[in-house]
Amino acid sequence: MNFTFIVPQRIFFGWNSLERIGEELKRLGSEKTLIVTSKGMVKREGFFKLTTLIKKEKLSPVVFNGVEPEPSMETAEKCMRIARESGCTLIIGLGGGSAIDVAKKVATDLELPKIMIPTTAGTGSEVTHESVLKVEGKKRAFVDERLTADVAIVDPSLMMTMSKRHISSSGMDALAHAIESYQCKKSNELTKSLARKAYLLIKGNIRKAITHDKKAISNMALASLMAGMAFGNSGTTLCHALTYPLSNKGIPHGEAIAIVLPHALEFNNFDKKVISEIRKIVRDVGLPTSFKGDAHEMATVVIKDKRHLSNNPKKVTLEDVVSIYRKVVEDA
């Protein structure tokens, strides 16, 4: 078996691992740092921790806080202009997958070193070489080894401010990453091992995590990291393809995952016990199970997604996708 495994040069995991930021800024030779984040994040303790640690290095960070959920290419371009005008020499992505995806794209296009710091336990984007942005209103994945972060810092203490809903939805995203990377055509023994452990951690901790239990949050952060390493190297499948039309209509990605994942796994003839466990998790954490929309219209979008569908363990036709969506809509 031959495979390639791509991850950041350095990954720091653990409670208060954010304190490693200073030495990494020195190592990477940062003179002026741009923090890419959202408006909500700049009000949280994690942002103040990060800026305080940067200022300890006698650096004054520039802040771009214009990242929206499901960010657009226009947002990345605006961020890029600010980085250029400010003379930034290093990019930090702080937040959920949206902030990290914008930060990775900006840093890569400007050929700058990058440090990714997730504040949610779900996307795993800090360790992948992919950035998902909306182009002309539709989600598009950019996949390039150069998008890989130089450093990923996964500090579970930054995730304690997540809402119950956010813990649930981001956790479902990590769950899908684990399962899809396990069963996809591009999987290998390393990605399968990471995926299997990530699934077990999520199954055993997501319910406690929504109560803000510290150990459970830490385990979810680890699961997200492991699932990110897995799917970042094997890709995802039908489930993620099915979420794109929902996300284009404003459904948060993790909630879209919760809606379609059991149906995608049933189509792929996955383990019935696991599918049952997933349905129970979705119910227990209070995520939606249905969506009202035009099944055929959404299916025509999905069937063009060759990247995900070609990696699916089972061939997918337009009629198959319409049938899956009809089940989701019928549940409404």
pLDDT digits 0-9 by tens, 240-268: 999 999 988 889 999 999 999 999 999 99
Q: Which of 209-218, 290-299, 309-318 has the lowest mean pLDDT?
A: 290-299
Please state the separation of Cα 101 from the chain's center in Å.
8
- pTM for this prediction: 0.95
Is residue 86 a contact partner of residue 34, using CB atoms and an 8 Å limit? yes
Question: What domains are there in the chain, each with its CATH number?
Answer: 10-159 (3.40.50.1970), 164-330 (1.20.1090.10)
- pLDDT value, residue 275: 97
Taking every pair of Cα atoms in the chain, the longest distance, rounded to a whole number of angstroms, is 60
The predicted model gives 209-225 an average pLDDT of 98
- pLDDT value, residue 330: 62
Pairwise CA distance, residues 202 & 206, whole Å: 5
The predicted model gives 278-289 an average pLDDT of 96
The predicted model gives 139-151 an average pLDDT of 95
Pairwise CA distance, residues 20 & 332, whole Å: 47
- pLDDT value, residue 309: 97
pLDDT digits 0-9 by tens, 163-176: 999 999 999 999 99
Distances 104 to 62, 129, 133, 188 between C-alpha atoms, Å: 16, 9, 11, 26
Q: Which residues contact 133 (CB under 8 A, 6 or more apart)?
A: 71, 72, 73, 75, 76, 101, 102, 105, 139, 140, 142
Q: What is the mean pLDDT of the chain?
A: 96
Does the pLDDT of residue 332 top 60, yes or no? no
pLDDT digits 0-9 by tens, 46-79: 999 999 999 999 998 999 999 999 999 999 999 9
Residue with tokens 């930034």: 88
Tell how many helices (H) and how many strands (E) occur in the chain.
13, 8
SS3 at position 180: helix
Pairwise CA distance, residues 141 & 128, whole Å: 12
Phi and psi based region of residue 286 (left: phi greater than 0; alpha: psi -120 to 50; beta: remaining): left
